[in-house]
Each structure stands twice: as structure tokens, then as C-alpha cells.
Amino acid sequence: MGFKPPPRTIAGAIFVSLVSLALAFPKGAQAEIVTLESVPAKRDSIDANEPIAESFSAKQAATYLDRASLTWQKEKKCVTCHTNMPYMFARPALSSVQKDSGEVRAFFERYRTERWQKKAPTEGQGFWVIVVGAGLTFNDLQTTGHLSPAARDVLDLLWTVQRTDGGWDWPDCDYAPMEIDDHYGVTLAALAVGIAADGYAESEASRAGLDKLRTYLKNNPPKSLHHRAMIAWCSKRLEGIATEDERQRTLEELLAKQLPDGGWSTAGFLTDWKGLERNDGEPLDTQTSDGYGTGLVIVISRDLGIPASDPRLQRGIQWLKSNQRESGKWFTRSPVNDAGNLISNTGTAYAILALQSCGELPGWPFQPPNRTTAK
């Protein structure tokens, strides 16, 4: 015989809630926090053939993100744009289903409080400052809603390693779209400054640097739809980078790349990049939906004002909920040259942000503020 609840009274409601909690967390069961000590010393390979999960699991996504970022930290002992930086963007969206150990955040903060206290970064190390700054500012917005002293210090440091042309040195590993040219690093820096809480973009420290940044983007026009997408995203908060018409054209171009299954392909954002080819001679795979492409389009669309109820975004959300892998990740193939499919880690973080942006996870914080104007 099935469970029969008591009458609809306050006491009855409490009783039902307690029963529900008991069923959700059986006796002896507890959430296991993933720690630096508990993760392997060497990261797992990211396999395209990993099976699709039976159903979407936010908890499994949290476990995957924790393992991927902490293992990278343990093995490589560095921050990077493809794994622990996007972790900092997205992991707070999963805190209600699985707490994290706090060790990734602490690692980012130690760059400023320990590493760079001993030796300040040079212009040739601008990459590190952008990655640490972006991770901290996004994480602040997702947690306290205020710019932390550590994040502010790193953003201030950002301007000391900016080149005279307005750009920063960025890795060129031939790993499009993130580790191939300085343009991505510049738009990521602009995004970090633009989303930083408490009016940081209006501060005296940032004004001259933002003017130089705008000059760089003017002198180095975008080569691909991915470049234009990043410009559209950061220009929502920083004027003098793209007009409203340009943002809308880019947004419609992104949305038009949606595939029949509801997702988007990262490679589809790179086809207009003249001279960009795979080393193995294969054509770019523009017909396979992936986590990075799908998550990025939904996040940018939401931040640029497309409602969560838009049918295109809802189809994308359904693709994400139906294509999580058993480990908790969303797979993305390295779109141009083999990078171990590490972009899957960024794609998993963006998938979580996309779900959060459309109300599938709590706490979407990225409401567009007033933009910072050019002088």
C-alpha cells in the first residue's frame, strides 16, 4: 500500500517535507565533497565515446567540475583558461546540490597573495593575470555580488601588464577558439572588467586601460564569428566596442547556426576565419552539436536580452539536458587541432551557466548593468 499523507495542515506539510528529505537522502548517505587530496594526481582523458547519461544530473556535473579542476591544479599547479577559470564562473550555480571544497577559489587568490607578492608578473605573462582576474570577478558575482579585495587587486594588476597597443600576450597553441590569438585574451579581459561588481570599470585604474583596449580592438578586427560573439558579449557593458546594431547582427548570426537537434557546434563559429584549417586535413565539423557551442550561445543570448522562454533557447536547453555524459561532463571535440578535447571542461561550465541563465539552476546573477562609456 502506498504512502498516504496526513491532512493539509501546517504540521502535515512539515511531515511531508521531512518524508521527502528522508527519501532523497537515505540513512547513512551524505554528499561527499571532492577535495584536492581525494582527486587523482593525473587527469583522465576526455573520450568522445563516453556514453550519454540516462538523465541530467546537476550533482554529477558538480562532481565532474570539481574533479577536473582540482586534478588540473594538483597535476599542473597553474590556472588555465580551459579548466579552472570557467570552473570559477559556473561552480557556484551548483552549490545548492553539492558544496565544493573552496580549494580552487583559494588557489586563484594565492596568485595575488603569494606568487605575485614574491615576483610580480611581467608584460609577457599577461595571460595569467587575465585568467586569474576573470575567474575571481565571475566568482564574486556568483557568490557575494561584490568585488573582493583579491579580485580588485588582480584587475588593477591587469593594466600593468597591458601592452602599448592595448593587447596582452596570450598563448598561441593553434588551439582555436581559446588558445590561438591575442584577440580572445583581449575580449576576455574586457568581459572580466565589464562584469566586475561595484563599478570597477568606472574606476580611475581602469579608464586609461580600457581606452587602450578599445584601440586594440579597432586596429585588430575580428576574424571569425567566435571573435564577434565575444565582442558582442563584452560590449554589452563597455561602450565603444560594438554598437547595438552590431550586437544584434552577431546574435542573430549565432542563433541561425542552431542545428536540427537543438544544439550548436563550436566549429560552426570558425568557418569564416580565413586560413584556419585542421592539421589533419579534415574539414571543420560544423554539424555536431557540443557543450561549448550550445552553452556559449545560450549564455550570450540571455545576457543580450533574449528571454529564457525563446523557443530556440528552450531547444538548446533540452539538448543540454539530453546530452550530458555519464561522468557529468558535456563533450566538445577540439574543433581545429588536437588539444585533448580540453575545451569540454569549458563547455561543461558554459552548459551549467546556460542552464542557470534559463532558470534550470538557481541564482543567475548576470543582469546587464549600465555600460561604461568611452571617453
Check: CB of residue 184 under 8 Å from CB of residue 170: yes
Claim: this prediction has a pTM higher than 0.75: yes
Check: CB of residue 341 under 8 Å from CB of residue 332: yes
34/71 Cα distance (integer angstroms):
10
pLDDT tens-digit readout, 273-331: 999 999 899 999 999 999 999 999 999 999 999 999 999 999 999 999 999 999 999 99
Check: CB of residue 303 under 8 Å from CB of residue 233: yes
Q: What's the rounded mean pLDDT across residues 220-234?
A: 98
Q: What's the rounded mean pLDDT across residues 53-69?
A: 98
Query: Between the CA atoms of 197, 347, 232 and 191, what dihedral angle is there, to the nearest 10 degrees?
Result: 30
In this structure, the chain runs to a length of 375
Q: How confident is the model at residue 2 (pLDDT cuts 50, 70, 90)?
A: very low
pLDDT tens-digit readout, 316-374: 999 999 999 999 999 999 999 999 999 999 999 999 999 999 999 999 998 755 555 55
Q: How confident is the model at residue 1 (pLDDT cuts 50, 70, 90)?
A: very low
Q: In whole numbers, what is the pLDDT of the chain averaged over residues?
A: 91
* Helix/strand/coil (H/E/C) assignment for every residue in the chain: CCCCCCCCCHHHHHHHHHHHHHHHCCCCCCCCCCCCCCCCCCCCCCCCCCCECCCCCHHHHHHHHHHHHHHHHHHHCCCCCCCHHHHHHHHHHHCCCCCCCCHHHHHHHHHHHHHHHHCCCCHHHHHHHHHHHHHHHHHHHHHCCCCCHHHHHHHHHHCCCCCCCCCCCCCCCCECCCECCHHHHHHHHHHHHHHCCCCHHHCHHHHHHHHHHHHHHHHCCCCCHHHHHHHHHHHCCECCCCCHHHHHHHHHHHHHCCCCCCCECHHHHCCCCCCCCCCCCCCCCCCCCEHHHHHHHHHHHHHCCCCCCCHHHHHHHHHHHHCCECCCCCCCCCCCCCCCCCHHHHHHHHHHHHHHHCCCCCCCCCCCCCCECCC
Please say if the pLDDT value at position 62 is more than 80: yes
* Helix/strand/coil (H/E/C) assignment for every residue in 80-98: CCCCHHHHHHHHHHHCCCC
Q: How confident is the model at residue 19 (pLDDT cuts 50, 70, 90)?
A: very low
Domains of the chain (ranges plus CATH)? 33-357 (1.50.10.20)
Percent of the chain scored above 90 by pLDDT?
88
pLDDT at 374: 56
Check: CB of residue 273 under 8 Å from CB of residue 216: no
Nearest to 95 by CA among 318, 316, 352: 352
